Amino acid sequence: MVDDARFEDGTEDALRLMALDAEGLQIVSALTQDAVFPIGEMKWQPGKQRFALLVNRFRWEDKDQATAQGRKVERVQAMVVFESVLKVATSGIDRSDTDTILSLLEISFAAGKDAQGRVELTLAGDGAIALDVECLDVSLRDVTRPYVAPSGSVPSHE
């Protein structure tokens, strides 16, 4: 039996954020650090200039509260959507292996001319996804109730 958690158990409601500049993107990056997703949950829609991920993100915003209350830490499924995307490139991942689980470490932005630039999603294991964008327009939205993290532990890095 899966031990579900509820938004009401945590300190926050479902997240709904937008990032329109590098500072906002840093917040989205911090909240999606250690998110995991199957490679098949990436979708590039060139006609709509949209790239989207359905991720299982660790609820960093609830970690301290869960620890203080003796609750198990949680994850939640979330959509991370990038608008105004002109081009998508990947490195270090086999996009044809739809069973591969990717782990997101960081999202960064390198500004170019005017509002254009490149968003880079750094993945564990030397993988990366690069998005050439007309402008920075990113949204993060939780789409399910939180659930107890299967590992039962807080992600950590050496």
Residue 55 placed within a domain? yes
- Give the domain extent around 134: 7-148
Residue 155 placed within a domain? no
Residue 156 placed within a domain? no
Name every residue whose Cβ is closer than 8 Å to that of residue 98 and which is 6 or more positions away in sequence.
38, 39, 40
Residue 154 placed within a domain? no
Angle at 86 between CA 56 and CA 121, to 5 degrees: 35
Residue 46 placed within a domain? yes
CB atoms within 10 A of CB 8: 8
Residue 158 placed within a domain? no
Residue 153 placed within a domain? no
Total tally of structural domains belonging to the chain: 1
pTM: 0.88
Per-residue pLDDT of the chain (158 residues; tens, 9 = 90+): 344 444 444 445 789 999 999 999 999 999 999 999 999 999 999 999 999 999 999 999 999 999 899 999 999 999 999 999 999 999 999 888 888 999 999 999 999 888 899 999 999 988 999 999 999 999 999 999 999 988 888 888 76
22 is written with which tokens? 């590098």
